[in-house]
Every structure is written in structure tokens, then in C-alpha cells.
């Protein structure tokens, strides 16, 4: 009906109308993209969909899949970078015995190029030493650099120029290394790429670029990000929030006693894997698998560590945001300290009964409970004396 009106009004033939539509499409690049996407998807849905196999696994458990954004998060000093060193070694040398790399291994049929883009460590010894460890774990000696290990630093690039520098570097890397089947791009740490990681516009611009990279090229992104202190697994800033939404795999690294716990917070393509426990070997200067006795001992120590001071430090930022039901707060304590609901409840009762002070930004608060509609809640009140 609409086309008939146009033809009647303008005196256009059907052929003229088609030409007009084609011209409009050429003048509108986004419309052209959407139509191309439609055509591509129409062809795809007519055939059997075959999902890609994991490119990195832990034993038989798939961990990372190709053409995805993956996030590795943790507090400062939790061995995030050492964990990434190990999995990059697995990408670089799929023939290395799994036991040498804590049972992590990559797809042996794919030739990977791994690029480590750092923004934190100094260029004199910290970053070079880290790259030496990757090289060594991949089976190479110091004087014989692995040809598929690429690395650089953004440390001396102005923060407001880092996003464009990153884009240019990855594009140059792809053009100069056409012999590789897949690129693993590690950004450590991702919040240093933009001027303000709490800025929605900057954050989405970076994530959109990551999505463009993984969809238009054989690229997988591994973004390393710090967690906010005592933040209930919350990665830093608006960028951290958006990355969590877009990531296919989200891994948390945390210290429990002397062990490094690797947890799967999110897995879009497969079920979550159970926690993996590693430990830092001071002789080898790398992570190794923890044995069952060490894991049991660490979990017991975690329960014992659920003392008043630790519980207070944990609940302060939670309650600062607002009231919590007893069930929610107890559940968070159980998850954090690997303790029973009774232990968690007892700690809260003890803090409230003994009127133990909770200092937040120089102000003193007390924990108190109230019951509304038969549901018990915990909240903070100012202790102004």
C-alpha cells in the first residue's frame, strides 16, 4: 500500500522504486550492515548449527571458547597475572604435559599467537620477568623467545591515548602475523585502557570495540580486572559491570589461606566448573596444583578465620549500601567464609549483642536487627556519643 501511494504521488514505476530503495541503502551504511546481517543469519538458520570446541580446557572441562570476551578478576595480590601466565603457556605449547601446567591445555589443532598488553608493571624487570615465566613454562629457554609470544606495555602512553593505541596495535599485529589461526589478546589491566572506568560512554566504547574484534576476526579477549575491596565479587567501576554482562566466561581468583582459589562465576557456553585450588611455589616462582589435604586444611582455616574482625570488614560495605535480610546476609557470609549458617548467624548476633563498633569513613556505626512482616533484617545505625 505504501509503495502504491509513493508511485502514485511521484509517478514512479516499480523499477524506479527499487532503484530509490537501493540508493537509500547505499547512503545509509548502518542499514547496509543490518541487511547484510539479515542475509547472513538467514543462511545460517537453514543449516545445522555447530558450536566451536573450547580452545582452553582444565582436564576435560571446557574453560575458554574462541571468539569470546573473558574476564579474570580478583583483589590486588591474588595471583591473577600468574594464573594468566600459566594459561598463556598452555596456549603456546599444547604438547607440554598437562601436569606441568596444572592440567590446563589448549586445542592442539590450532596455532595460536598470544599477545600480552600490560599497563601496570615496570619495563625494567617486572614485565620482562613475567614474560620469561610464560616463555619458560611453554618449553623455551631465556635466549630462545617463543615466536608466538608477543608482548608490550601501555605504561608510557598517555591514558587518554591508550584506547586508540590499543586499537592500532592489535590491527598492526593481525596484519603482520597472518600465519596464525587464532589470536589471544590479554589486557592487564583493562581499566587502565580508558580515562575513567566509571564513565559509561568510555566503558561501552571499549567493550563495543572488543565485540567488533571477536566477531570480525579470529580473536579471543582475556581482560584482567581488579575487584573493589570487600565488594562481593564486584569488578571495578562501570567498566567492570558492563564486562560482566558481555563476558562469556568470568573467573574469580582469590586467596584462601595460602591457596589460590579459581572460581567460575559465569559460563555462557557450558556449565560452571567446580573451584580449582592452586598454590604459589616459591622455588619454581609459579602456580602449582594443591593437594587434597592442603585444600581441606585451607577450608578449615577459612572457617576459623570467620572471626569478628573479618566478618565486620566484610559486612560494612554491604550494609553501607542498605538494609539486608538475615537470610541474604547470612548467605553472603557462608559463601565468603565457607562456614555454616549457624556460624554466620552467631557472628552477627555477637556483633550486635556486644555493641561492637563499625567504623566507616571516620564515622562509628552499630549493627542492629529488626523484624518486619516476620522477616528479620540487619542494618547500621549511627553511634553518636
Q: What is the pLDDT of residue 363?
A: 82
**What total number of domains does the chain contain?**
3
Question: Do 121 and 257 share a structural domain?
Answer: yes
Last residue of a domain, one of 269, 291, 313: 291
| Residue matched to cell numbers 537470610 | 327
Residues 278 and 339 placed together within one structural domain of the fold: no
The CATH number for 368's domain is 1.10.10.10
78, 254 in Cβ contact below 8 A?
Answer: yes
| Distance in angstroms (rounded) separating the CA atoms of residues 275 and 216 | 33
Q: What is the CA radius of gyration of the chain?
A: 26
Domain of 9 in residue numbering reads as 2-44
Q: What's the pLDDT tens digit per position in 330-382?
A: 999 888 887 778 888 888 998 998 888 888 877 888 999 999 888 999 999 98
Based on the fold, state whether residues 149 and 208 are members of the same structural domain: yes
The number of angstroms, rounded, from the C-alpha of 212 to the middle of its chain's C-alpha atoms is: 18
**Taken in order 139, 141, 142, 148, is the CA torsion positive or negative?**
negative
pLDDT in tens, 54-65: 999 999 999 999
Residue 121 lies in a domain: yes
Do 230 and 183 share a structural domain? yes
Total residue length of the chain = 385
Residues 86 and 227 in one domain: yes
Based on the fold, state whether residues 133 and 70 are members of the same structural domain.
yes
Distance of CA 18 to the CA centre of its chain: 47
Pair 210, 264 in one domain:
yes
Least confident of 10-19, 44-53, 254-263, 334-343: 10-19
CATH of the domain at 246: 3.40.50.300
146 and 278 part of one domain: yes
The answer on 157 and 233 residing in a single domain is yes
Residue 182, strand partner residues:
112
Q: Are 264 and 373 within one domain?
A: no
**Whether this model's pTM surpasses 0.85:** no
Per the domain annotation, does 51 fall within a domain?
Answer: no
Amino acid at each position: 500500500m505504501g509503495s502504491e501511494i509513493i508511485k502514485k504521488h511521484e509517478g514512479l514505476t516499480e523499477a524506479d522504486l527499487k532503484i530509490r530503495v537501493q540508493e537509500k541503502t547505499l547512503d545509509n551504511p548502518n542499514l547496509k550492515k543490518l541487511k547484510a546481517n539479515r542475509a547472513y543469519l538467514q543462511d545460517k538458520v537453514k543449516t545445522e548449527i555447530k558450536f566451536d570446541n573450547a580452545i582452553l580446557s582444565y582436564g576435560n572441562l571446557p574453560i575458554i571458547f574462541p571468539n569470546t570476551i573473558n574476564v579474570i578478576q580478583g583483589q590486588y595480590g591474588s595471583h591473577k597475572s600468574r594464573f594468566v601466565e600459566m594459561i598463556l603457556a598452555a596456549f603456546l605449547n599444547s604438547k607440554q604435559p598437562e601436569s606441568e601446567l596444572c592440567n590446563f591445555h589448549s586445542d592442539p589443532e590450532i596455532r595460536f599467537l598470544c599477545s600480552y598488553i600490560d599497563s601496570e608493571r615496570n619495563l625494567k624487570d617486572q614485565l620482562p620477568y613475567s614474560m620469561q615465566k610464560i616463555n619458560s613454562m611453554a618449553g623455551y629457554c631465556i635466549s630462545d623467545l617463543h615466536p608466538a609470544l608477543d608482548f608490550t606495555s601501555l605504561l608510557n602512553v598517555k591514558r587518554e591515548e591508550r584506547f586508540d593505541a590499543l586499537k592500532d596495535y592489535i590491527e598492526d599485529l593481525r596484519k603482520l602475523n597472518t600465519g596464525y589461526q587464532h589470536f589471544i589478546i590479554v589486557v592487564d589491566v583493562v581499566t587502565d585502557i580508558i580515562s575513567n572506568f566509571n564513565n559509561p560512554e568510555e566503558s561501552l566504547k571499549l567493550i563495543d570495540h572488543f565485540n567488533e574484534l571477536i566477531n570480525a576476526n579470529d580473536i579471543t579477549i582475556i581482560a584482567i580486572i581488579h575487584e573493589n575491596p570487600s565488594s562481593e565479587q564486584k569488578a571495578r567501576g562501570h567498566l567492570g559491570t558492563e564486562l560482566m554482562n558481555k563476558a562469556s566466561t568470568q573467573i574469580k581468583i582469590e586467596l584462601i589461606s595460602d591457596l589460590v582459589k579459581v572460581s567460575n562465576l559465569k559460563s555462557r557456553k557450558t556449565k560452571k566448573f567446580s573451584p580449582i585450588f592452586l598454590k604459589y611455589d616459591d622455588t619454581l616462582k609459579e602456580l602449582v596444583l594443591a593437594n587434597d589435604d592442603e585444600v581441606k586444611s585451607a577450608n578449615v582455616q577459612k572457617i576459623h578465620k570467620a572471626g569478628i574482625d573479618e566478618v565486620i570488614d566484610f559486612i560494612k560495605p554491604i550494609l553501607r549500601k542498605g538494609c539486608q535480610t538475615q537470610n541474604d546476609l547470612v548467605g553472603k557470609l557462608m559463601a565468603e567464609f565457607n562456614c555454616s549458617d549457624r556460624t554466620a548467624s552467631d557472628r552477627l548476633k555477637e556483633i550486635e549483642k556486644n555493641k561492637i563498633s563499625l567504623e566507616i569513613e571516620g564515622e562509628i556505626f552499630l549493627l542492629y536487627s529488626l523484624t518486619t512482616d516476620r522477616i528479620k533484617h540487619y542494618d547500621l545505625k549511627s553511634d553518636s556519643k
